[in-house]
Amino acid sequence: MAQCIPSPAGVNPPWDFDVLVVGGGAAGLYSALAIPPQWRVGLITKDNLTLSASDWAQGGIAAALGPDDSAHLHVADTLRAGAGLCEREAVEHLVTHAATCIHRLVDLGVAFDRSGADLAMTLEAAHSRKRVLHAADTTGRAIVSILAEAVLQRPNITVYESAFALDLWLQEGQCRGIALVQGHRLRWISAQATVLATGGGGQVYAQTTNPTASTGDGVAMVWRAGGQLRDLEFFQFHPTSLSLPGAPPFLISEAVRGEGAHLVDKSGRRFAYDYHPDGELAPRDVVSRAIFHHLQKTGDRQVWLDMRPIPADRLNYRFPNIIRVCRTWGCDPLTEPVSVAPAAHYWMGGIPTDLHSQTQIPGLYAVGENASTGVHGANRLASNSLLECLVYGAELAHLPLQAGLVKPEVPTPLPPQPPPSDTGEDDRLAELNQKRQQLTQLMWDYAAISRNQAGLDTAITTLDAWRQDAEQDDLSQALQALPPDLHQELPADLTLPRLRAWGELRNLSDVGWLVLNSARFRTESRGGHYRSDHPKTDPAWQAHTLVQGHQWQRSASLSGQLSSEDSPT
C-alpha cells in the first residue's frame, strides 16, 4: 500500500475548525453553505473556487418538476440506468429532495433557462421525461459561480486556495483533519468533521473530459488511511467528446442528442440503432460501447455527431459554448458533422456513505463524485450528478458538532507561492509529468471501454513495478523523513508545484491500481464495466464490490432492484 505522511499523535482539542471541507466544486461549495453559520468552516481547493469538474458540466441538473413527471418516474429511470446496483433508499432520497435544492439555487440567483415564466427542461438519454434544467450549455459554471460568490460572503468560512491535501489525519480510528501543503509549509489542520468533496478521478485515463485537477485525491487518501471503498471498476465513458487534430477532449453534452442530434458513421448512417433500440439516446455506457464496437467492426477511426437536425436558432440558443469551441478548432456544427469519440467522464465508485453523507470512518464525510452514495449504481443517469452534490451536501446542515471546541484564532491562509527560481525544477516536473502520461496511457489501453483478463493482468504487473519504484523516490523518502509536527517549513527543494505534481501522481497511481484490480475482480459486464471475456451480466454479481487495503469482496444483496411496477411508461 502507498505510504501516508506521518501524522502528529497525542494532539487534542481545541480544534482549528468545526468543519473542514476539501474541494471547491459544487459539492464542496454547497456543503460549506449548508453548514449553519455558527460553525467555523475551512474550505480547501487546489486551484480556485471555480476550477472544478462541476464548472465544466454542460448538460444540466435533473429534477422531476414537470406536470407530466413524478418522483416515481425519476426513481425508475435512475434504477434502470444503474443496472441493478443502485440503492433504492439513496435514489429516493435524491429525487424527493430535488425540488428543495433547485429552489435554493434559484433563490441564490442561478439563472436557469426559462420557458415563459417556468423553468425550461430538456430531455437527456435514459430519461423518460423532460426533466433536465439548464443554463444554456454551461449549467455547471452558472451554479458554481453563484455558489462561490455566496461562500466568499460568509464570514464563518475561511478559504484556502492553491492548497493541496496530502493525507487524512487519523487518531484512534477517528478523522481529525488533513495534512495540507500551502505556500512552503506543511500543516496538519484539525476539525470536528472533515468533508471530502474532491471530485472524480477521470485524469487516470489518457482521454478524459475531466479537468487536470480530477486526480481521485479523496478516494486515494481514504484508501491509504485504511478506509473502505466501493464499486471502483465502474467508470462512465462519455460517448461524444470532441475528436479533432490538436484539440483536447471536450465534452459535447448529451443534451445535444436529446435535442435531436444524430450519431452517424462515415456513410451518414445512424449506426447506434444497430446496438440498442433507443439509438443515440440509450444509456451512456451503451452508446460508448456502440461506438467502440462499430469502429472495430468497420475499421474506421472516428464517428460524427450531426447537429444539423436541430433548428439553427435552437442550436445557437441552447449550445453557444459548444458551437464556439468547435469553431475554434475549425468545425462549424451548423454546417457539418463534428468528429467525436468516447472519453472517461464520471466515476460511479468511491467512498461509501450513508444518507447523511457519513463514511465508515468517524468524523469523515464525503459528498459529490468521490462519494459512493448508492445513487448511480453501475451507470449514472445523465444530470443526476450535480443534483447529488446538492442533496447530499445539504445533509451537512445536521452535523453532530459541539460548541466551544475551536481555537480562538483561525489558521491564516498563506499567499500563493511564487514560481520556483531553481532551473532544475522544470526537469523534475517534466519527469513527473512523463510518468503521469505513461500511467494514463496504460489505463486507457487496458482498462477503458473494453477490458479483459490478459490486459488487466499486464497492466497490474506493470503498475506494481512502477509503484514500488515510486515508494523509493527521493521525494517520497524526504516526506517520510519529516518530523510529524503540526506546522513546519518544508525543505527548499520541496516546492508546492513539485509536491502537487508528485501528490497527484501518487493519487492517480493508487486510483489506477484500485480500478484495475476491481475490474479484474468483477468477472461480468454491467453498466460502465465491460469485460470482453465476460460479456454477459451475471445475476450472481448483482452486488457491490468492496475494497479495503488489499482485500476485495462482494457485498450483501441490494435494495435497489428494478421491479415491474417501476416502468416509466
- Mind telling me the catalytic residues? 284
C-alpha cell at 485: 509536527
Rounded Cα–Cα distance for residues 232 and 516 (Å) = 9
Q: Do residues 365 and 196 make contact, with C-beta atoms less than 8 angstroms apart?
A: yes
User: In 3D, which of 558, 407, 458 has the Cα closest to residue 82?
Assistant: 558
C-alpha cell at 122: 430538456
- Three-state DSSP class for residue 353: coil
| DSSP E strand stretches across 64-184 | 114-115, 118-119, 121-122, 132-133, 157-160, 163-171, 174-182
- Taking CA atoms, 362 is separated from 170, 211, 411, 413, 432, in Å, by 10, 31, 24, 27, 34
DSSP single-letter state for residue 406: B
Beta bridge partners of 115: 118
Rounded Cα–Cα distance for residues 249 and 228 (Å) = 32
User: In 3D, which of 148, 179, 202 has the Cα closest to residue 27?
Assistant: 148
Within 250-395, where are the H helices?
Answer: 254-258, 284-298, 312-318, 320-328, 384-394
Residue 113: Cβ within 10 Å count:
17
Residue type, 564: S
Beta bridge partners of 306: 262
Rounded Cα–Cα distance for residues 360 and 170 (Å) = 13
Beta bridge partners of 552: 547
Beta bridge partners of 351: 371
Rounded Cα–Cα distance for residues 387 and 393 (Å) = 10
User: In 3D, which of 284, 323, 319, 334 has the Cα closest to residue 138?
Assistant: 319
Q: Do residues 231 and 545 make contact, with C-beta atoms less than 8 angstroms apart?
A: yes
DSSP single-letter state for residue 3: P
Rounded Cα–Cα distance for residues 44 and 39 (Å) = 16
Rounded Cα–Cα distance for residues 420 and 261 (Å) = 48
Q: Do residues 93 and 391 make contact, with C-beta atoms less than 8 angstroms apart?
A: yes
Instruction: Look up cell 477490458; give the residue.
Output: 451
User: In 3D, which of 132, 161, 197 has the Cα closest to residue 389?
Assistant: 197
